[in-house]
Structures are given as structure tokens and as C-alpha cells.
Amino acid sequence: MTSRRSVTILGATGSVGRSTLDLLERAREDYEVLAITAHRDVEGLAEAARRVDSRRAVIADETLLEPLRSALAGSGTEASAGDEAVLEAAGAGADWTMAAIVGTAGLGPTMAAIRGGRTVALANKEALVSAGHLMIESAGSSGAALLPVDSEHNAIFQCFDRARPEAVRRIILTASGGPFRDWSLEEMRSATPDQAIAHPNWSMGAKISVDCATLMNKGLELIEAFHLFPLPEEAFDIVIHPQSVVHSLVEYVDGSVLAQLGSPDMRIPIAYTLAWPDRMETPCERLDLVRTGNLGFSEPDPERFPALGLARQALRDGGARPAVLNAANEVAVGAFLGGRIGFLDIASIAAETLQCYAPAAPASVEEVLDIDREARACAEAIVKRVMR
């Protein structure tokens, strides 16, 4: 790189944010950190700001401004707090912004970064699921480059011929199958939160780990992929691949299939977006195919993992349906992690929410957030009814 690129990290204390910080620390001469944000983790945010010498640190919970200022004393990093401060940091014009705030809380800041017209690395799947058309339209208007960070979409991005999309026949998303891929329905019925978050291949936060266990994560990624790559819904397939080595595949009309392979380490797709269109060194373990041995693939079981069917139907229905599904799932996952409902209740609560709440398609971010709130209230009412 000929000059330092400016960087902002939205959600710096989460798993993706921490992986991003690790890469930035290893290439400090190439990047200047303008701002980093977190929701409530003052200690983690302040420590991260010192590590990468961030100009600004923003805590979303405005009641934590003074503790953040104290934690940053003598560092030279400016402290600020509140939702408006997060939006301001997101739209401050960084060359590259990591959008890694979990849930629909990340929608506003992600849109602010997109409107800035620079490069936005998307790690917040909920925002694209809930407001995909609005985000893609905004990026088209501003000229922002949207680079997917999810390992599956990043793999597709690397293999997809964007200049000739008509040459692509099919996209195949791979799913590890999560910790319950070999469990019976009866075993899954009594699954605990600790078991659900124990992902066999990836190190992630609790919410996304549960989504991997239900395969809702893959359903949401299906909706994401539809917005990111110009193919019809029926051109997207999902296969179970327990080794998490083949991250996704692109099939062309001539029968050729291109795949991106790598060790299951989020720093690889993050590094791809951080250095794009170039590549950068990472400390990630190199893939050893001999040691890996066999690569297995199978069809997902729709009976044990109904979340996949819910997501595909929401995508087909369009409009507000994906936003309702996403909101209901977040509420149900939170209830499961809190011990209020069982594991199999997650998908059933999402399904019932889709049945009882069917708003019109949103035309703005504000309408998306309104739909999200209403869907959450509906899902919470269902949770209370089915609570253990």
C-alpha cells in the first residue's frame, strides 16, 4: 500500500471486531484507526483503543461516558457516547468501515457508513436481511463498495464473476451443521444453551452460535446472498459440510465449479476485505488437505432444522417477511439463552410470529425499525405463552 488507509470498526469488542483489531495490530504502518465503537464494554473498548491508537472511542450506552473517559485518560483518544455518536463515527468518512454491530442495532450505523460512499465490510447479517433492498439501493447511489465478511459470502465474492453474472448457474452455501448436526429431534429437544453455543469449528458469540445450531444462520445467509449476488432465489443451494474447509462454491453454466477453501478462521475473510483489492499476510493456520483428509457433504434435514425452510419462504415472500423473521429469531434466541424456552421452540416461535404479523414492505430504515419493534413484541408475547 502506498498510503495509510483510514479505518473505523463498528462493534470492536465482539468476535469479528477483535479479529479485525488483531489484523490491524499486525499492520499498523498500513492503517490509521479513526474510530471504534462498542455497546457497553467500556474496559474492552478502552483497551482496544489503546492497542490500535484509535482517534476516537464511542460507547453506545451514554450512561457510560464518564467511565470510558476515565479508562482512556492519558491515551489521547477522544471518548464519546450515545447512539448519535455511533452514527457520527460510522459516517465520518473512513476509507474502510467494519460493520460488525450485532442485530438490527447495527442497521443505522451501517447505512451511515454506506452513505459515505467508501468501502464497507459487512459482518452484520441482520441489517442486510432486514433491509437488503434499501442497503443495496443506498450503495448504488453513494458508490460504496459492499464487501461481505461472512466466510460463506466472502468465498462466493472471491469466486463470482461480477462482470459476467449471466455465466453463473448456481451458488452453493456450505454449513457446518453446528453442534447438533447428528442429534435426533428428541436429543435436540433437551439441548442446553451451553451445548448450543459449543460450535465444533468456529469461535463466535453466543447469538450467532445458537443460530448455527438451529441452521437459522444459514437461512439468514441465504437471504443475504440473494441481495449480494444477482441470481434468482432458486439458484441458491445449501449443503452440510462438517469440516468447514470449503466455505462456498460457485457453479458456472459450463459445469465448472469454483470453490474457496481455507482454515476456519474469521481473520481470513476479514483480511480479504481489509486489503481488497490486494491481499495481506495473516497469522492464520495454513490449510493442510492431507491432514484434513476427507471432505464430506450432505443435504440438510428440513425436519430437524425447520429454520432453513422458514428463511427460504420469507425470501420468496419478500417485503417485510425477512425483517419479521430476523426479529422473531433474535427474541427467541435470547429467550433460549436465558433459559425461558427450549431449543426447538426457537424455530416454532419464529414461524408463529410470521403467521401473526404481516406488515407491508418497508420503504425506509425507520419503517424497518418499526417493523422490527412490532415483530419483537409479537414474538415476546409468544415466548411468554410457551415459557417453561
Task: Give the pLDDT confidence of 263-289 residue by residue, as tens digits.
Answer: 989 999 999 999 999 999 999 999 999
| Amino acid, res. 245 | V
The answer to whether position 19 is within a domain reads yes
> Between these two residues, 203 and 246, which has the higher pLDDT value?
246
Structural domain span for residue 17: 5-149
The answer to whether position 363 is within a domain reads yes
Examine residue 277 and say whether the peptide bond preceding it is cis (omega within 30 degrees of 0). yes
pLDDT > 70: what percent of the chain?
A: 98
The answer to whether position 231 is within a domain reads no
Q: Which of 98, 129, 149 is the last residue of a domain?
A: 149
The answer to whether position 158 is within a domain reads no
Q: What is the dihedral of CA 299, 231, 316, 114, to 10 degrees?
A: 110
| Number of domains the chain is built from | 2
Measure CA of the first residue to CA of the last residue in the chain; give whole Å.
Answer: 56
The pLDDT of residue 205: 75
Instruction: Quickly state the pLDDT bin for 206 (edges 50, 70, 90).
Output: confident
The answer to whether position 376 is within a domain reads yes
Q: Which of 99, 132, 149 is the last residue of a domain?
A: 149
The answer to whether position 324 is within a domain reads yes
User: Is the CB of residue 109 less than 8 Å from the CB of residue 99?
Assistant: yes
The answer to whether position 187 is within a domain reads no
With a cut of 70, say whether residue 202 has pLDDT above it.
no
Q: Which of 134, 149, 164 is the last residue of a domain?
A: 149
Per the listing, cell 448450543 goes with 196
With a cut of 50, say whether residue 259 has pLDDT above it.
yes
| Amino acid, res. 259 | A
Q: What are 293's three cell numbers?
A: 483428509
The answer to whether position 71 is within a domain reads yes
CATH code for position 19: 3.40.50.720
The pLDDT of residue 344: 96
d(CA 234, CA 236): 5
Q: Which residues contact 105 (CB under 8 A, 6 or more apart)?
A: 39, 60
CATH code for position 327: 1.10.1740.10
What is the average pLDDT across 183-204?
Answer: 86
What is the average pLDDT across 98-105?
Answer: 89
Taking Cα atoms as reference points, which of 333, 59, 356 lies closest to residue 210? 333
